[in-house]
C-alpha cells in the first residue's frame, strides 16, 4: 500500500493502566479467512492477544458486518462476517475494542466470486484440489516451509487473471511482511509463469499475473513466501478467473472538468467501461479512483490524477533536443516511453519567475521510475532530479521527481526518461509544468482514544505541511461529526506545521461502542482529509501505517 514510511525506532506499549489496574490492549495478528464474497456470510477466526473481553467491532464503509461470537479465549475468537450483495468490493479497515481500548487495524477484502478455504495438506501435486472458476482461494502459510496449491481447468484462448492479496491484507511472517511468490505449472509440473510482486508500490509483494494458457488442460497454481517462511499470520487470498483487471491506464490523469477516454493497459477483458470516483472539489490537484466494469464485475481500482493544467499528449516525437516537442506553460504532459528512448520538450519563458516541474508515476501505481533534466538554450544541463525529496518523498514522493527553480526569459528544455530505459504503455507518466498548486499534506497521532459515556476531551497532534502555493493559518475541523462534538485549539498558525488539538465530546454525544471521527485541515486555498498514523513494529524497526479516521472507544461511566 503506498503507506509505509520508515521512522526513528519508537517504543510500542502493549499495556494500559486505568485507575491503577493494568489491562492488555487488544492486538489482532490475523483474520482468517481475510474476507468474503458479496452477498455471503462466513465464519472467521481472529487471532491475537487480549481478545477475551472484546465487545465492539467497527468496519470501514457500508454493507459489511462483523459480529463477534461468544468466547473467553484470550488469543483466538470467532466472528461472523456478513457482506451485503451491493457492498463495494475491495479492502476495508477493521477495528476491535474491549470496554477500554481499541485494537490495531486489520484489513479484510470483499470479493466478487465464490470462495473456498484451503484444506491441508495441499503442498504437493498429489494433494492439491481441483477448483471451479472463477474462485477466490483463502489460505494460510502455516506449516514448515509451506507452499499451497490448487488446480484449475483452463482452455487455450482464455485470458486468466491470477491475483494475490497478502501484504495488502497485512499478512505477516514472524515480524516481517509476507513476500509472495506465485507460480503456475502444467500437468507435468513444468513451470509456465512466475511472479514475485511488482517493482512499484501498487502491489509490492502481492503477485498479480495475466496468464494465457498454451493448451487445454489442468494447471496448478502455487503460492508461497519468497523465502519459504511460514507463520499462522501469513494469511492470503488468491483470486482466479476471466475477470477484469487493468495493470495500468493511459493516460493516468486529465484536466479537471475535461472529458477523457482512458485506455486500460494490459487488460484481461477486452470490453471495459471506465468509472471515475469522486475527487475533492476544493483542490486543483487531486487523485481519485478509476475502475472499469464489465457486466456484474468491477476491476481493480487505479489512481487517476486530476489537475488544473491542460493536457498535452507527448507519446510521439521529441526523441532528441533538436526535435523537442514545444509546449506552453502551464501544461500537463501525458506520455509513455519507447524502450531506451526519452522525451524532450521545450518551452519559452517571457518573464523571470519560479516554475515547478512535478513528475507523477510511482504515486499513480505504475512502475515508471522518472528522471527529469533541465537544459538551457545552449544545451547546458542546469538541474536534474530522480527521486522525490525527504524521507517520504518531500514535495513529490518516493521515486517521483520534483524540480522548483527560477527561470529567466528564453527557451528551455526538459528531458524526461525512465531511469532503467524501460518502455511500453505499461510505463506511462504525467509531468506538470507551471507555477504549482496549493496543497496540504497531513496526519494525526495517536489515531485511537477512549472516553466515558459522560464525555471528555481527546487530544491528538496534527502535523500538516503547506505545499507549493498553500498559505495562511490551517484550521482543523471535523467532518460530519454528531452534535456535541467540537474542536478547540484547532489552529496551526502560519509558519507552524503542527499543533496539539483538543476534541471535546459532550455527555451522550456518542453511545457506548466503537466510533470513527474524520478530521479535515483547511487553509486559505487548500483542504485535505487527514489520515491517522498507526505505529507498528517490523523486525525491530517502527513504521507508520496510514489509517482512516480517529477511532474512539466510548465506555460505560
CA 231/CA 50 separation, integer angstroms: 20
- Matching CATH topology for 115-241 and 440-555? no
- Residue 199: all three cell numbers together: 517493482
Rounded Cα distance between 319 and 551, Å, is 52
Asked if residue 254 lies in contact with residue 285, where contact means CB atoms within 8 angstroms, the answer is: no
Question: Does 115-241 carry CATH code 3.40.50.300?
Answer: no
46 grid coordinates: 481472529
Cα separation of 463 and 449, whole Å?
18
Could you give the CA distance from residue 172 to residue 543 in angstroms, rounded to a whole number? 14
CATH code linked to domain 311-437 = 2.60.120.380
Residue ranges of the domains in the chain? 5-110, 115-241, 311-437, 440-555
pLDDT of residue 268: 93
Contact 284, 438 (CB under 8 A): yes
Cα–Cα nearest to 535, from 4, 2, 1: 4
Contact 46, 76 (CB under 8 A): yes
Range 440-555: architecture per CATH? Sandwich (2.60)
Provide the CATH number for the domain formed by 5-110 in this structure: 2.60.40.10
DSSP 3-17: T-EE-S------EEE
Determine contact, residues 65/90, Cβ cutoff 8 Å: no
Per residue of the chain (557 residues), what is the pLDDT tens digit? 333 333 333 333 444 444 455 568 999 999 999 999 999 999 999 999 999 999 999 999 999 999 999 999 999 999 999 999 999 999 999 999 999 999 999 999 999 999 999 999 999 999 999 999 999 999 999 878 889 999 999 999 999 999 999 999 988 888 788 999 999 999 999 999 998 765 544 567 899 999 999 999 999 999 999 999 999 999 999 999 999 999 999 999 999 988 899 999 989 998 999 999 887 776 778 889 999 999 999 999 999 999 999 999 999 999 999 999 999 999 999 999 999 999 999 999 999 999 999 999 988 989 899 999 999 999 999 999 987 643 333 344 568 999 999 999 999 999 999 999 999 999 999 999 999 889 899 999 999 999 999 999 999 999 999 988 899 999 999 999 999 999 999 999 999 999 999 999 999 999 999 999 999 999 999 999 999 999 887 777 777 889 999 999 999 99
pLDDT of residue 3: 36
Amino acid at each position: 500500500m503506498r503507506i509505509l514510511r520508515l521512522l526513528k525506532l519508537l517504543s510500542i506499549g502493549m499495556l494500559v493502566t486505568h485507575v491503577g489496574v493494568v489491562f492488555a490492549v487488544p492486538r489482532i495478528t490475523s483474520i482468517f479467512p481475510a474476507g468474503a464474497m458479496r452477498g455471503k456470510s462466513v465464519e472467521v477466526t481472529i487471532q491475537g492477544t487480549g481478545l477475551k473481553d472484546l465487545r465492539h467491532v467497527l468496519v470501514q464503509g457500508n454493507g459489511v458486518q462483523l459480529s463477534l461470537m461468544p468466547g473467553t479465549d484470550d488469543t483466538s475468537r470467532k466472528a461472523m462476517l456478513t457482506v451485503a450483495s451491493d457492498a463495494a468490493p475491495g479492502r476495508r479497515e477493521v477495528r476491535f475494542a474491549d470496554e477500554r481500548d481499541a485494537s490495531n487495524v486489520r484489513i479484510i477484502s470483499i470479493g466478487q466470486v465464490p470462495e473456498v478455504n484451503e484444506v491441508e495438506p495441499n503442498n504437493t501435486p498429489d494433494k492439491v484440489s481441483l477448483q471451479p472458476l472463477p474462485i477466490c482461494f483463502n489460505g494460510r502459510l502455516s506449516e514448515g516451509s509451506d507452499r499451497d496449491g490448487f488446480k484449475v481447468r483452463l482452455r487455450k484462448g482464455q485470458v486468466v487473471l491470477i491475483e494475490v492479496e497478502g501484504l495488502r491484507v497485512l499478512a505477516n511472517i514472524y515480524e516481517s511482511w509476507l513476500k509472495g511468490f506465485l507460480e503456475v505449472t502444467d500437468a507435468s509440473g513444468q513451470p509456465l509463469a512466475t511472479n514475485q510482486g511488482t517493482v512499484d508500490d501498487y502491489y509490492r509483494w502481492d503477485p498479480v499475473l495475466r496468464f494465457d494458457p498454451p493448451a487445454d488442460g489442468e494447471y496448478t497454481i502455487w503460492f508461497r513466501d519468497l523465502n519459504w517462511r511460514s507463520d499462522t499470520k501469513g494469511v492470503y487470498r488468491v483470486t482466479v478467473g476471466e475477470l477484469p483487471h487493468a495493470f495500468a491506464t493511459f493516460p493516468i490523469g486529465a484536466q479537471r472538468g475535461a472529458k477523457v477516454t482512458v485506455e486500460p493497459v494490459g487488460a484481461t477483458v477486452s470490453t471495459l467501461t471506465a468509472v471515475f470516483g469522486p475527487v475533492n472539489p476544493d483542490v486543483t490537484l487531486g487523485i481519485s479512483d478509476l475502475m472499469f466494469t464489465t457486466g456484474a464485475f468491477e476491476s481493480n481500482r487505479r489512481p487517476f490524477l486530476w489537475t488544473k493544467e491542460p493536457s498535452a499528449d507527448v507519446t510521439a516525437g521529441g526523441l532528441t533536443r533538436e526535435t523537442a516537442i514545444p509546449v506552453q506553460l502551464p501544461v500537463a504532459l501525458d506520455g509513455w516511453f519507447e524502450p531506451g528512448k526519452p522525451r524532450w520538450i521545450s518551452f519559452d519563458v517571457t518573464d523571470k519567475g519560479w516554475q515547478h516541474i512535478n513528475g507523477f508515476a510511482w504515486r499513480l501505481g505504475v512502475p515508471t521510475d522518472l528522471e527529469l533534466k533541465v537544459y538551457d538554450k545552449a544545451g547546458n544541463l542546469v538541474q536534474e532530479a530522480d527521486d522525490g525529496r525527504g524521507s517520504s518523498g518531500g514535495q513529490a514522493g518516493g521515486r517521483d521527481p520534483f524540480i522548483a527553480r527560477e527561470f529567466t526569459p528564453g527557451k528551455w528544455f526538459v528531458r524526461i526518461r525512465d531511469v532503467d530505459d524501460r518502455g511500453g504503455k505499461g510505463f506511462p507518466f504525467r509531468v506538470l509544468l507551471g507555477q504549482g498548486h496549493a496543497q496540504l499534506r497531513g496526519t494525526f497521532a495517536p489515531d485511537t482514544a477512549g472516553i466515558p459515556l459522560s464525555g471528555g476531551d481527546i487530544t491528538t497532534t496534527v502535523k500538516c505541511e503547506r505545499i507549493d502555493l498553500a498559505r495562511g493559518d490551517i484550521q482543523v475541523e471535523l467532518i460530519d461529526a454528531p452534535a456535541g462534538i467540537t474542536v478547540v485549539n484547532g489552529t496551526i498558525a502560519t509558519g507552524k506545521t503542527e499543533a496539539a488539538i483538543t476534541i471535546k465530546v459532550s455527555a451522550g454525544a456518542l453511545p457506548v461502542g466503537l466510533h470513527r471521527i474524520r478530521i479535515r485541515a483547511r487553509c486559505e486555498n487548500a483542504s485535505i482529509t487527514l489520515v491517522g498514523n498507526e505505529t507498528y513494529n517490523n523486525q525491530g524497526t517502527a513504521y507508520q501505517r496510514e489509517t482512516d479516521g480517529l477511532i474512539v472507544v466510548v465506555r460505560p461511566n
